[in-house]
Structure 1
Amino acid sequence: MNKKYLLLALVGAVVLGSLMYTFTGTTDPELYIENIAAERERQFKFLKFNIDSPLEEEQKKALDSLDFFPIDPSFKVRGRLVPVPRKRMVEIPMSDGTLERYIRHSFVEFEFNGETIKLLLLQAEDEVDLRNFFLAFADGTSTEETYGGGRYINLRQDGSSSITIDFNLAYNPYCAYNPDFACPIPPRENILDIPIRAGEKNYEK
């Protein structure tokens, strides 16, 4: 292959890679799927074998898999960070009736299926890395297909005023597996009417 065609091939590969990133959030869709699958396997192994797992011993013995929606790159979205006018510490209700303190930090806005969505990002009171955020949300699948108390995603700011949300990484709180655990309830800003069919489904004993 001469230099001219090699250069054209390289340019074409770069353009194709850019388009893949634009539409899927990754330069390699197969690698993206492998990474999500690996994270799901890590989650399963933690619940099954780790001493800090919320599962009781009988649950661990019975657990042979977790239930997830199919991996769908369209549920990986880029959002714009909108600072809360006045950041303040708030008390978030827990599933056991207690309260836990979080910083009401920012909103993230993004387009999904032609609709503008705005979600509240919280930050743990003792968080040392100010780029890390906590997203608790419920949606149109809650109770029927996913845990009724909502699901979580751990986020990390990856731009000066932007952040990536991958709903394929949405996971159940500990209280979905064991009611003895207390879990933050999603704030009212994060109760969505639309279904988010991505991430972890209901846990069934």
Structure 2
Amino acid sequence: MTLPASTPDTVTDERWRAVASEHGIAALRHTHWLDGEPRSYEGAPGVWRAVDGRVVGAGLRADAPDAPADDVVLAPGEHLDVGRLRLKAISREGAPALRVFDPETPGRTRLRGILSFPFDEAWALPGVFRPAAAGEITVIRSVDGYEREEPAVGTVVLEVAGAPVELTVTGDPAEELSAVIADATSNVDAYRFRFLEIQAPATDGSVTVDFNQAYLPPCAFSDHYVCPLPPANNRLSVRIEAGERATAID
């Protein structure tokens, strides 16, 4: 397995492998949403259709001699490697799609690193988790305009640069919380939004929001992901100069 040029030292080897390996995040070349009609799709050998929530491929042997001769059935999360391609099934609220990971996609071959702001412990801020009321719903909108409703998890209340902030979070409060954030560096010195994981709150609700842990979403590496966008109250007016900020492309 050949990786693109080494990333800056501020990014861990594990993170770099997840992004830049042959079938890593940056290798996604296509996402094809399927229906019941068998069709050819760009970059994918054979013909593909959706059957009972699964991704079904046929005719792969003609287009790819090393592929299985019989139909291929992939449940969401499963994949098939054909040559250097990885064909992976995903599902969004029951709608299946076929993803094509190609090590030769320019998003991977031109990637030279992940740029980060300098680490600054001052960006590790105290906050308090407030669970959502029973039955409360949140609307999550993705970059492709798709919207879905989910039970609300809650907010994390903290102060950032002297201003009160309530971050909408998702996840499991017993394990880990997540937030999608944008700030005054977005589309200026950083990608338009970033992801942030927050450790599970203590029994009194206290948490530490460490913006040094902010990282680029998959759609920073490929336009074919469908990442969630930051909700309105997660779009901060201050500059968060911490965490990953942009890709380095040659």
What TM-score does the superposition give when structure 1 sets the normalisation length?
0.71
Q: CA RMSD in A?
A: 2.2
Query: Which has a greater percent of strand?
Result: 2
Aligned length: 164
Is the CA contact 1:79–1:109 (under 8 Å) kept in the aligned structure 2?
yes
Is the CA contact 2:124–2:211 (under 8 Å) kept in the aligned structure 1?
yes
Residue aligning to 2:100 = none
Is the CA contact 1:90–1:102 (under 8 Å) kept in the aligned structure 2?
yes
Separation in 1, partners of 2:151, 2:214: 21
Can you give the 5+ residue segments of structure 2 that lack an aligned partner in the other structure?
1-8, 29-102
Residue aligning to 2:186 = 142
Residue aligning to 2:110 = 62
User: Is 1:175 paired with 2:175?
Assistant: no
Can you give the 5+ residue segments of structure 1 that lack an aligned partner in the other structure?
1-36
Residue aligning to 2:84 = none
Residue aligning to 1:155 = 198
User: Is 1:53 paired with 2:97?
Assistant: no
Larger radius of gyration: 2
Aligned-pair CA distance for 1:87: 4.7
The percent identity for this pair of structures is 24
Is the CA contact 1:89–1:102 (under 8 Å) kept in the aligned structure 2?
yes
Separation in 1, partners of 2:141, 2:239: 23
Q: SS of the residue aligned with 1:164?
A: strand
The superposition leaves residues 55-102 of structure 1 with CA deviations (integer Å, 9 ceiling, x where unpaired) of: 353333333321000011111112111222345343311001112444
Is the CA contact 1:157–1:164 (under 8 Å) kept in the aligned structure 2?
no
Separation in 2, partners of 1:176, 1:38: 18
Is the CA contact 2:182–2:234 (under 8 Å) kept in the aligned structure 1?
yes
* Larger relative contact order (Cα-Cα within 8 Å, sequence gap ≥ 6): 1
User: Is 1:111 paired with 2:155?
Assistant: no
Is the CA contact 2:169–2:179 (under 8 Å) kept in the aligned structure 1?
yes
Q: Report the residue type matching 1:180 in the other structure.
A: H
The superposition leaves residues 139-191 of structure 1 with CA deviations (integer Å, 9 ceiling, x where unpaired) of: 0111011111x111122214111122111111111111111110001000111
User: Is 1:71 paired with 2:119?
Assistant: yes
Moved over 6 A (4+): none
User: Is 1:193 paired with 2:237?
Assistant: yes
User: Which deviates more from structure 2 when the two are superposed, residues 79-88 or residues 66-75?
Assistant: 79-88
Query: Which has a greater percent of helix?
Result: 1
Flag the 1:108–1:62 CA change in 2: closer, same or farther, 3 A.
same
